[in-house]
Chain A
Amino acid sequence: MPLQCHRRIIGVIACKLPGARFAVNRFRGIELSALGSPAHPEIELVGRRSGANAAPAISIVVPTRNRAPLLARALESMRSQSFSSFEVLVVDDGSTAATKAEYAAIWQNLDDRFVLHYVSAAPANGIGPSVSRNLGIAAARAPIIAFCDDDDSWTSNAHLAMMAEVFSTLPPLSVYIANQIAVEANGAIVKRSWLPGLEKAVGARQRSHQHGYLVTCEDLAAGGGFAQLNILAVSKALIESQGGFWTRTTYEEDRDFFWRAVDHAAAIFFNPTIVAQHNVPDQTRKENLSSNFSQVERWIISALVSQHIALSVNHRTIKRLCTVYEGDILRHLSLHFSKNEEHALGFQYACRAIAARASWKWSAYTFLLAFRNLMRKSAQ
């Protein structure tokens, strides 16, 4: 078999998701290990046989870029799941040749459920995780899509088993939310439950299933937090109807995706069992690295994402939650500018905060700022 056989372009994926119009080079994980040595027909046969298999129950989409060791940990946590009918779609977004070289070693321990996709012709800085995920979703064969980013991992081996059980017993289900803890770089647990508000709200209720509760959009909005992608599973049909990940921003795309998904969901299930661990980025280090401006930029992107969610969803409670959140960010910006002696901006963002989220206290504060600015002007 010539080498080219291993690398097949499966063609243009016809899908409505943004960014999914172009070709992906598909590598069967098992084929990859044979890449260096072209004469391994039996290995290639194994790969091909798996391709003809029936569709799995769950597809897991894992975008990655230049993080081979972390990716290996994430994939290992999937391999040790007790439930076995799944496929993993790793979407490599233009990693370096050195990283790609490490994949062969990682795939030696993996079976043919693990499929590696290279984004063909990714630009130098990558197409970004949102577009990568949309591509992965387009190529997925299962009716249920779960996510796990390359820097996350599942700590419970029963995660997929519980997920599959719930999906099969509650048929109209379209969103499944599990739980995780948050751990700091020094190992301290900062959050024992990712969605404490939701857990408290449903605690008094009867379980709809032995693993958890059916919840509504209102419950989620009242709880406040959103489920990160590694504890989220969504039916493929739902993702296709809500349009996948918004690719306009490279920040908070998970929050945008979550609220638009639950807004469209026919039924939502919450399983309070801890299945994953979220590693909180080291804040002090992050602030040192990023300049003051990029922090401001991040905030205004966050405000933009909130507007996008509020304008896209139908549920009033979600709309309100997003405007409240946006109001918080704008207040934050106002305080930030005032602190940095940029008083005109401080006042402007105070006004914006009121427009998004009115309150007497904040109105009084804005008045005070206006008055102070007047005094400052007359003093000049």
Chain B
Amino acid sequence: MQIWWRKCTARDSEKLYTSAKAIVYSKKATHVIALIHRGRNPAICISKGVKLSHPGSTIHPVPSSFGREPGTTTPAFSIVVPTRNRSQLLERTLAGLRSQTFLAFEVVVIDDGSNEATRALYPVIWENLDQRFVLLSHGEADALGIGPSAARNVGIAAATGPIIAFCDDDDIWTNDNHLAMMMAAFSDNPSLDMYIANQIAVTTEGVVTKDSWFPGLEAIVQRRSRSLEHGYMVTRDDLASCGAFAQLNILTIKKNLIDSMGGFWTRTPYEGDRDFFWRAVDLADQIFFNPTIIAQHNIPDQTKHDNVSTRVTEVERWILSTFVSQHISLSVRHHTIKNLCNHYEGDILRHLSLYFSNHNEHDLGYQYARRALATRLSWKWSAYTLMLACRGLLRRLAR
């Protein structure tokens, strides 16, 4: 893919607008920096120098042709936002998206069977939004949801942009230049498959527990020279070696890559994002990492969480997590990712083993210690498993 620029005069601007696939606006959206066209061959053509008095101006039909109205304009990015019964959080998230300085995007909100009360609030929220914000209601009100993974697949299928970004309804982008930086990276390298940004993690008390989501990855790239002002090209081995898993709100992927990997796996209710990320990394050849913080991850209140979930659901979640790891490692081609997943699965199985031993379920403790050994071999853990076996024998003799 290649990009070329051309100057254009005011006379042909009207025609260019109607045929443009995307429009690049200036920082305050007072004028258009560029129009992006797509030719028959996979080339992006950017027309520079078109002036627009203000966004939404009726002289140019462009802003109104965003969204679902029939037109030729395609946004540069489609941001997929699944939601269910969380109108307040959603409103905050969408307001965050609206304040992005780069404007040529669409937001596809998929409402996954919210109740009537929530759905009644949407028109109020949409009063403050322009036509780039599209709402797809899936299922009747108060239906059993299809789950966030399946909802995202619906959103991806409906997206018209060639590049997909994600933002869940409880996340916010804190940096208004996120999309602008992203655009710079994708225009600089049109064959870029994946773009990873950065975020901080904050507890419910407001304590910042992680000032970077990828300390390991940052340490790796620090020695390299930046390939662009905003960041670095990284390899999948870089990501796998430090176990850098990008949550969806800081992840952007080309749509054709998502289509070729079959979207989100919908078999499990948990960790669909982890499964998606590593299968995408497996197929992505060009990955860009921008260490700038653009989002905030709110860590769920663990104490509250433990109170709510019962013992069974906790164990259930762990075994589902090992199941997801197996799925990733059986789906990907690259050994580094396979190893990473086995390593992670081994950790969870060790966790389960310790958990059962703590709860005096010694048979299960020993069984899961063996399972942990099968996925991740280590001398120390072998010794521990042997000790469990001996203890089990002694216990049997004592009876």
Binding site for B on A (CB under 8 A): 19, 21-23, 119-123, 125, 127, 131, 248-250, 293, 296-297, 300-301, 304, 307-308, 311-312, 323, 344-345, 348, 351-352, 354-356, 358
Contact = CB atoms under 8 A, between A and B. Distances in A.
- Sort A-B residue pairs by CB-CB distance and give the 6 closest, nearest first: A121-B143, A121-B140, A351-B374, A355-B370, A355-B374, A123-B146
A172 to B, nearest CB: 26
A248 B269 contact: yes
B286 interface: no
B330 A308 contact: no
B138 interface: yes
Interface residues of B, number: 34
A348 B319 contact: no
Which of A125, A304, A307, A352: most chain B CB closer than 10 A? A307
A250 B140 contact: no
Interface stretch (B46-54, B178-186, B320-328): B320-328
25 contacts: A21-B144, A121-B144, A122-B143, A122-B144, A123-B150, A125-B150, A131-B144, A248-B316, A293-B331, A297-B327, A300-B326, A300-B330, A301-B323, A304-B319, A304-B320, A308-B319, A311-B319, A311-B364, A312-B312, A344-B335, A344-B338, A351-B373, A352-B371, A354-B374, A355-B373
Interface string B23-49: 000000000000000000000000000
Nearest to A358: B370
Nearest to B368: A355
Which of A19, A122, A123, A127: most chain B CB closer than 10 A? A123
A323 B327 contact: no
Contacts of A301: 267, 323
A19 B146 CA distance: 12
A348 B375 contact: yes
Contact of A352 (B138, B140, B374): B374
A119 B144 CA distance: 9
B268 interface: yes
A149 B335 CA distance: 43
A123 B144 contact: yes
A355 B113 CA distance: 42
Contacts of A304: 319-320, 323
A21 B326 CA distance: 32
A308 B323 CA distance: 11
Interface in B127-152: 138-146, 150
Interface string B77-115: 000000000000000000000000000000000000100
B138 to A, nearest CB: 7
B364 to A, nearest CB: 7
A312 B371 CA distance: 18
Given A248-B268, A304-B323, A312-B312, A352 B143 contact: no
A342 B68 CA distance: 47
B268 A355 contact: no
A296 B330 contact: yes
B143 A307 contact: no
A121 B374 contact: no
A345 B341 CA distance: 13
Which of B143, B145, B312, B371: most chain A CB closer than 10 A? B143
B252 interface: no
B139 A311 contact: no
Given A121-B141, A123-B139, A352-B374, 18 more contacts: A21-B144, A23-B142, A121-B113, A122-B139, A123-B145, A248-B316, A248-B320, A300-B327, A307-B319, A344-B335, A345-B330, A348-B375, A351-B373, A351-B375, A352-B375, A355-B367, A355-B373, A355-B374
